[in-house]
Structure 1
Amino acid sequence: MDGYAIALVFAVLFGLAIGSFLNVLIHRVPLGNSIVAPRSSCPHCGAPIRIGDNIPILSYLMLRGKCRTCRRPISPQYPIVEALTAGLSLALFIKFGPTLQYLLFFLFCAALEVISVIDLHHRIIPDILSLPGILCGLAAALLLGHVSFVSSLIGAIAGGGILLLIAFAYERLTGRTGMGGGDIKLLAMIGAWLSAWSLPLVVLIASLSGIVTGLVFIVTSGQGLRTRIPFGPFLSLGAVIYLFFGPLITRWYLDVLS
């Protein structure tokens, strides 16, 4: 096995390990609990998770998705998050190689992943994730130079401003609150990381994917227009797609126009 192949394996293992930690964040951050102590435990019986039962994905398969102590089912969210994080780590390593850019954008994608799952479960986007994420995006612009600091700053301001205007207009027209402050701060974070130029495409992807998903849920849930779907996961999806394919999509769109 050559050096590059070994590096790819390391990227996957690194992603699996971080994915396991992301599950801790997803569970504890909304509750305001410490992410350091106590040790992870079964959410049903409270039995501490053994070290040998905490191996990403593998332990879930060996235990057949059940707690060793009480035999009640473990949420499939745990191996899904671990596998997704490993996939993101591998894709980012292939794109950027063993660079600071890989590490920082992995941090960005991991934060989006945690935010998305928390938003799906609790319909909230914690400020403790989005606000430091804005600052980290501005710092990344200075460290990496992938975008100018001015563009990053404008992206943060414009990202928050766009959704703030949309939320204000929706509330004025319908008399209902349609978008939370968490979504506004999340788009500001995305703008800080990816620059102001990314925002139109990110919002477009998020809106289209959100509309399609919303229509499916409206039809299948039986709740009609009362169905409420969090927007954070779709903004995160738009950001990740832009990160990997933004320039390619933009060139294709300009070619179509011309």
Structure 2
Amino acid sequence: MNAAAPVLAVPLLGLLAVLGLLIGSFLNVVVHRVPAGLSIVSPGSACPGCGDPIRAVDNVPVVSWLLLRGRCRSCAAPISVRYPLVELATAVLFVGTGWSFGLSTYTAGALVVVAGGLALVLIDLDHRRLPFSITAATGVGVVLTLGLDVALHGPDLLVPALASAVVWLAVYGGIWLVTSGRGMGLGDVALAPVLGLALGWLGWGPSLVGLGGGFVIGGVVGVALIVAGRVGRRARVAHGPFLLSGAAFGMFAGEPVWNGYLTLVGL
């Protein structure tokens, strides 16, 4: 990544917030339809209670939910608060991405990872699976933006990014093979090199912090759930949210954490 990437001005961050709200609205559709094998293009959104199509004026992210007080205009059926929360979360993550990486090709690639990752987290929590279609679309977006970066700034970051993807695939693929698929699913294995490519683009520090972070977060949450009696010791917990949370930590905080570690060990 170009370290001298210009910081995004406030108006551009505002545009990212609006884009995030719109993408978040689309992600709600993706999260609902992709696991069911439905088209994300047609038909248009409709109330699950009465089946009435949702009007354009009632489909404005966050605002429409507030104005309707969380209920369908036609039948007054409740509309889950998760819809506006996903839209707000996407907007916040988009702004945070723009603030962290500025006006750069990496920002475009990171936005793809953020959007795809958020959809995958929600689907994994709901259905215990990571659809390959979303992982593939995210991977294509990362490859295209990395290719654009190479075309603009040269191939210096290409080798570490590819090597990072190989390391992530080797770790997750190795765990899958050793545990015969009990430790995690093939969806995690397929997603790993995509995240490894995105974080390796930033450098080995963010990549390794993100890789280890997923296991640390998963371990801490798993122990907490066992202590709280929410799951048994042999219960399987969706690993995708931990994998993606670790990647997010590596993306946004990996560099200072890695530098702090190197300082601590005297390297």
Fold conserved (TM > 0.5)?
A: yes
Correspondence list, 1:85-234, <5 A: 85-145=90-150, 148-171=157-180, 177-195=182-200, 197=204, 198-234=206-242
Task: State the distance in 2 between where 1:101 and 1:184 align.
Answer: 23
1:62-90 per-residue CA deviation (whole Å, 9 max, x = no partner) reads 22222222323222221111111101111
Pairs aligned (count): 252
Correspondence list, 1:34-45, <5 A: 34-45=39-50
Higher helix fraction: Structure 1 or Structure 2?
1
Task: State the distance in 2 between where 1:183 and 1:247 align.
Answer: 24
Q: Offset of 1:237 from its aligned partner?
A: 1.2
Task: State the distance in 2 between where 1:14 and 1:26 align.
Answer: 18
Task: State the distance in 1 between where 2:191 and 2:109 align.
Answer: 17
Q: Which runs of 5+ in 1 are unaligned?
A: none
Task: State the distance in 1 between where 2:34 and 2:93 align.
Answer: 22
- Check 1:222–1:26 CA distance in 2 against 1; reply closer, same or farther (3 A cut): closer
Q: Which residue of 1 aligns with 2:265?
A: 257
Q: Which runs of 5+ in 2 are unaligned?
A: 1-7
Among all aligned residue pairs of Structure 1 and Structure 2, give the percentage whose two residues are the same amino acid.
Answer: 36
Deviates more, 1:137-146 or 1:101-110: 137-146
Please say if residues 138 and 149 of structure 1, whose CA atoms lie closer than 8 Å, have aligned partners that are also in contact.
Answer: no
- Check 1:220–1:244 CA distance in 2 against 1; reply closer, same or farther (3 A cut): same
Task: State the distance in 2 between where 1:86 and 1:100 align.
Answer: 19
Task: State the distance in 1 between where 2:137 and 2:225 align.
Answer: 33
TM-score normalised by the chain length of structure 1: 0.88
Q: Offset of 1:226 from its aligned partner?
A: 4.4
Deviates more, 1:18-27 or 1:154-163: 154-163
Task: State the distance in 1 between where 2:251 and 2:265 align.
Answer: 22
Letter paired with 2:34: V
1:64 aligned to which of 48, 69, 75: 69
- Check 1:49–1:226 CA distance in 2 against 1; reply closer, same or farther (3 A cut): farther
Task: State the distance in 2 between where 1:4 and 1:137 align.
Answer: 24
- Check 1:133–1:156 CA distance in 2 against 1; reply closer, same or farther (3 A cut): farther
Q: Offset of 1:248 from its aligned partner?
A: 0.7
Which consecutive segments of 4 or more residues in structure 1 shift more than 4 A? none
Please say if residues 142 and 148 of structure 1, whose CA atoms lie closer than 8 Å, have aligned partners that are also in contact.
Answer: no
| Aligned alpha-carbon RMSD (Å) | 2.2
Q: Offset of 1:201 from its aligned partner?
A: 1.6
Q: Offset of 1:179 from its aligned partner?
A: 0.7
Task: State the distance in 2 between where 1:199 and 1:102 align.
Answer: 16
Task: State the distance in 1 between where 2:215 and 2:168 align.
Answer: 14
Q: What SS class does the counterpart of residue 23 from structure 2 fall into?
A: helix
Q: Offset of 1:6 from its aligned partner?
A: 2.4
